[in-house]
Every structure is written in structure tokens, then in C-alpha cells.
């Protein structure tokens, strides 16, 4: 029985050719390839500039610093997410404030964010809100941009899981004051490790670019080594060219799941006229998620919880009930461009067998 993995990178001959060309040139550190990747990536999103960095977490860290976040400040981040936004805030010396999700949904609850801003004490200087677009589905940006304007707090869009998704006809990453992306091995496109910052703010871009590298500076300001190599950038450029095809394949598989998993004891992703998701993950909800994951693995299919654990649970903070509920019920089925039709059919049939 052949194992169907939960996720898999799409690395093809043209990707290998681009990387090989850089290796043969001998110019492998940050250089012209990085410049090209930054230009193409920011142009894809219609923003004024991009800065390629070593990881998505580095992109978050430098973006927060570029916005002036530091010790004595606080930043609102979702609890239902990977731990990277929480850690990035801690790197700056600021306090991460965890917000619950919307009821029966993945995204951070804008009402809970506003409640915190209303109740904040004089000691809590909220300097940013990190909005994570989870699993390829955009968050309600209208609500967060309204709060941003009302309370004069900038929004950082975390698009690590949603490159290519659209909200009301605009690509995610084109709404926030600063937006960040990840190119880890299992992401929508990959450079192995790597990340990107994009923005329309020349000041934020200039600050983040200055912080990215420490050498040959004329002052003693603390900076970092968060550069991307030309090897990675060459792969990134090649992958970016294929992004429309990747998204088309993901949506094709999602349609098969939506058609084939009807009338089962699970909740399928709901459609919305405001968003055009790209299905980085196909996440369903069910009562016995742990048992389902175990039983599917026995059948040679790797399904996973899409979020390891709500961050407030890791740090044993006060209960955030919506996030806890969806965490218990959420299961991510395999979905990626290299997933063949026979494998999709097998996943559908095994899901039916396990649930029935």
C-alpha cells in the first residue's frame, strides 16, 4: 500500500535548471537573483516593493521592528495559528496578546480584537495587529482595516498560508501596512526556507531592508543576518511563474472533495462570495478528529491537525473557547499540485469508509 503524504513540494526540471544555473555561476549569496525575485513578487501583488529574507518568521520579526514595535508595546495575534507570530512579537521585546477565533471559523475574531483595544490600559500600547489568512482562505479584511483606522494601529498581514488568495478582487498581502510570506518547503511556493516582506510604505521597506543585514553599517544600531541567497531566489522565481497552475490544481482537487464528501458526518469548507481561496489546506471538521486521523493513517493516508495547538494552550493562558473547539474538530486532508486523481479518489473513498 503506497503512502499518501499530507503535503509535498512540487520541484520540477525547470526549477532544478534555474538553481543549477546559479550554482554554476559561482555567485550564490544575496545578489541579482534576489533583486529579481523581490521585484517580481511585489509586482504580482501590486505593491511598491519587496524584501526577501531567510524565513517567514524573520519577515514577521523585521516587519514588527520596522513599525517601531519594541519593549513596552503589545501586539495582537491569533491564538489559532502556528507559534511564529507569537514568537516574532517576543523577539522584539513586546508582549503578544492572543485573540480568539470567530465562532465556527478559522480567522481571528475582529470583535475580540476591538474589545481588547477598547479595554486596554494606559500601560498597554498596542502597536500592531497581525492578521493571519489561514489555510488559503482570506480573513475579513474590511473589519480589520476599519479597526486599524479607528484606533490608529497598523495591520500586518501574515499570508504564509494563502499566497494567491483574493479578498473582494484583491490579492491578500495588498491590504496591510506591511505583509509577510513564507516559502518553507511545504508552502504554496517554496525556496526550501525563506520569506518575503511587501509594502506600499517606503519607510517601512527602508527600515526592514536596513535591518536585514548587519555588515558595512556606519552606526552601532542592532541589526540581523536574515538574507536570502541567490540559490533560493532562483527557485522562488521559477516557482512564482508556476503559481497560477499550482492554484488551479489545488482548486480542482478541492472541487473533487466538495463533490465527493457530501452527506457525511463532517463540515466542509463554506463558500463566500467575498473571497477566492486557493486551498492551501482542505480543512474539514468532525467530532472524532483524532480517531479519524489514526484510522486514515492505517489506510496509508496522512491527515493532520492543521494547527498543532492553540498558542494559549501551549503557554497555559486563559481559555479561548472558540479556538479550542475548532482545534478539537479540525482535520486537514492531503491537497497539493502533485496529488494524482487516483489518490484523490482513494482519499474520498477511505474518508467515506472511516466515517460510515
Cα–Cα separations (whole angstroms), residue 199 to 61, 181, 203, 249: 15, 12, 9, 29
Q: pTM of the entire structure? A: 0.96
Tell me the pLDDT tens digit for each residue of 159-210.
999 999 999 999 999 999 999 999 999 999 999 999 999 999 999 999 999 9
**Is pLDDT at 123 greater than 70 in this prediction?**
no
- Under the banding of pLDDT at 50, 70 and 90, the label for residue 122 is low
129-163 pLDDT, tens per residue? 999 999 999 999 999 999 999 999 999 999 999 99
What's the pLDDT tens digit per position in 23-63? 999 999 999 999 999 999 999 999 999 999 999 999 999 99
DSSP 259-276: HHTTTSSSBPPPP-TTEE
Instruction: For residue range 255-291, list pLDDT tens digits in order.
Output: 999 999 999 999 999 888 899 999 999 999 999 999 9
Domains of the chain, earliest start first: 13-241 (3.40.640.10), 243-355 (3.90.1150.10)
Cβ neighbors of 266 (< 8 A, separation 6 or more) are 284, 285, 286, 331, 351, 355
Model confidence at 119: pLDDT above 90:
no
Amino acid at each position: 500500500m503506497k503512502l499518501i503524504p499530507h503535503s509535498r513540494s512540487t520541484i520540477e526540471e525547470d526549477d532544478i535548471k534555474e538553481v543549477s544555473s546559479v550554482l554554476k555561476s559561482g555567485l550564490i549569496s544575496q545578489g541579482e537573483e534576489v533583486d529579481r525575485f523581490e521585484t517580481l513578487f511585489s509586482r504580482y501583488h501590486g505593491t511598491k516593493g519587496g524584501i526577501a529574507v531567510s524565513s517567514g518568521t524573520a519577515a514577521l520579526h523585521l516587519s514588527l521592528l520596522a513599525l517601531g514595535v519594541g519593549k513596552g508595546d503589545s501586539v495582537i495575534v491569533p491564538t489559532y495559528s502556528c507559534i511564529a507570530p507569537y514568537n516574532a512579537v517576543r523577539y522584539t521585546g513586546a508582549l503578544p496578546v492572543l485573540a480568539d477565533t470567530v465562532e465556527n471559523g478559522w480567522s481571528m475574531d475582529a470583535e475580540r480584537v476591538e474589545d481588547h483595544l477598547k479595554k486596554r490600559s494606559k500601560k498597554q500600547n498596542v502597536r500592531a495587529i497581525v492578521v493571519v489568512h489561514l489555510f488559503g482562505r482570506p480573513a475579513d479584511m474590511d473589519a480589520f482595516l476599519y479597526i486599524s483606522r479607528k484606533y490608529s494601529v497598523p495591520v500586518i498581514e501574515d499570508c504564509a498560508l494563502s499566497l494567491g488568495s483574493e479578498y473582494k478582487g484583491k490579492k491578500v498581502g495588498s491590504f496591510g501596512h506591511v505583509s509577510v510570506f513564507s516559502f518553507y518547503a511545504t508552502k504554496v511556493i517554496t525556496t526550501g526556507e525563506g520569506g518575503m516582506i511587501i509594502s506600499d510604505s517606503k519607510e517601512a521597506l527602508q527600515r526592514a531592508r536596513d535591518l536585514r543585514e548587519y555588515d558595512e553599517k556606519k552606526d552601532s544600531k542592532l541589526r540581523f543576518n536574515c538574507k536570502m541567497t541567490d540559490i533560493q531566489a532562483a527557485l522562488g522565481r521559477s516557482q512564482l511563474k508556476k503559481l497560477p497552475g499550482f492554484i488551479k490544481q489545488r482548486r480542482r482537487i478541492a472541487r473533487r472533495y466538495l463533490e465527493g464528501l457530501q452527506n457525511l458526518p463532517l463540515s466542509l469548507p463554506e463558500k463566500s462570495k467575498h473571497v477566492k481561496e486557493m486551498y492551501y489546506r482542505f480543512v474539514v471538521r468532525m467530532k472524532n478528529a483524532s480517531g479519524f486521523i489514526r484510522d486514515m493513517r492505517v489506510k496509508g493516508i496522512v491527515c493532520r491537525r492543521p494547527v498543532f495547538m492553540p498558542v494559549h494552550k501551549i503557554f497555559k493562558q486563559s481559555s479561548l473557547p472558540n479556538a479550542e473547539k475548532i482545534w478539537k474538530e479540525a482535520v486537514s486532508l492531503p491537497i497539493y499540485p502533485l496529488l494524482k486523481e487516483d489518490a484523490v479518489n482513494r482519499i474520498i473513498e477511505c474518508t467515506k469508509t472511516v466515517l460510515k
